[in-house]
Structure 1
Amino acid sequence: MSLQRNVQQQNAVTKAEIERAAALQPSSLAWLGTVLLSHKLEPASGILVRLCEVPEQEGNLMSSVWLTDTVEFWEFEAMISRTNGALIGVEGFKNATPSFPLEAGVPGTGASFGNLARQVLRETRNA
């Protein structure tokens, strides 16, 4: 049986997941800086807001969302070698900003992922 959470609890869980991803900056993930720079994004001008790792035959597939300081969301997948952590390849690097609405309150679900990610970005910049 699944745990039922109210809107505030759901938002808190989502925000905590974003904060965990944001703590993983390009300095701690060598491949991330390489990916961002190769797509003309400055690693110091944004935060990682989503990171999902899926083991694949070739390595680990990292599905990621980067949020820039100008509030643009960039989605991409990077294949990372399990043996040495090297970047094998990048797929689907795209500006996905329209896919991440910034509504502060959506009936029944609370704040959108985009809104919570923007909150975390602001908090990291004001810290």
Structure 2
Amino acid sequence: MKRQKNVQEQINERRQLILELATNFKQNPGQSQWLVDLLERHKLKPENGVLVELKEVEEQGPLYDCEAIWLTKEKSFIVLSGEADYTTRELLSETFEPKDITDSIEFNKHKEGIGKAFGILAIEVLEQLFDSN
């Protein structure tokens, strides 16, 4: 039987997943070219934030239905969405205008059962990556 992870282990695992996503995007943004295209279209510079959540679902066409949460240096959470070419990952169309969702992000440092909420972990990753530069 697999041992259930304690809260601190769960926090570390969730923070690590966010860190890996943000780091992978910074090192190879072309893997999600659609996001680079959207960021630039809306004057959000890739070097002034981090990717903290990403969904790319293969659809018919072939294309990807894509959504991302971008965390700016100013600590605003922005959701971006579009459709991307299956092969090149370039933006085909924007699903909706970028939306600031900061007010809907949970920032609890001591959430029962999970410890730190997503917002706190994402900000910790942002600060870690920008403090190391």
* TM-score class normalised by the smaller sequence: 0.7 to 0.9
Using the alignment, how far apart are the partners of 1:26 and 1:60 within structure 2?
A: 21
Q: Retained in 2: the 8 A contact 1:26–1:43?
A: no
Letter in 2 for 1:84: T
Using the alignment, how far apart are the partners of 1:75 and 1:57 within structure 2?
A: 23
1:82 aligns with 2:79: no
1:39 aligns with 2:55: no
Q: Between Structure 1 and Structure 2, how many residues are aligned?
A: 127
Q: 2:26 corresponds to which residue?
A: 25
Q: TM-score, normalised by structure 1?
A: 0.88
Residues 26 and 40 of structure 1: is their aligned pair in 2 closer, same or farther, counting only changes over 3 Å? farther
Segments of 5+ residues of structure 2 without an aligned counterpart are: none
Residues 26 and 104 of structure 1: is their aligned pair in 2 closer, same or farther, counting only changes over 3 Å? same
1:65 aligns with 2:69: yes
Using the alignment, how far apart are the partners of 2:20 and 2:64 within structure 1?
A: 19
Segments of 5+ residues of structure 1 without an aligned counterpart are: none
Q: Retained in 1: the 8 A contact 2:37–2:90?
A: no
Using the alignment, how far apart are the partners of 1:33 and 1:125 within structure 2?
A: 19
Greater helix content: 2
Give 1:37 deviation, angstroms.
Answer: 1.8
Q: 2:126 corresponds to which residue?
A: 121
1:104 aligns with 2:105: no
Residues 97 and 9 of structure 1: is their aligned pair in 2 closer, same or farther, counting only changes over 3 Å? same
Counting only pairs closer than 5 Å after superposition, residues 44-59 of structure 1 correspond to structure 2 as 44-58=47-61, 59=63
Kindly report the root-mean-square deviation, in angstroms, between the aligned alpha carbons of the 2 structures: 2.0
Q: Retained in 2: the 8 A contact 1:80–1:86?
A: yes
Give 1:3 deviation, angstroms.
Answer: 6.4
Letter in 1 for 2:115: G
Identity, in percent, stands at 31
Q: Retained in 2: the 8 A contact 1:27–1:33?
A: no
Q: TM-score, normalised by structure 2?
A: 0.84
Q: Any idea what the Cα deviations from partners look like across 1:14-40, whole Å, max 9, x if unmatched?
A: 111111210113852333222012122
Equivalent position SS for 1:25: helix
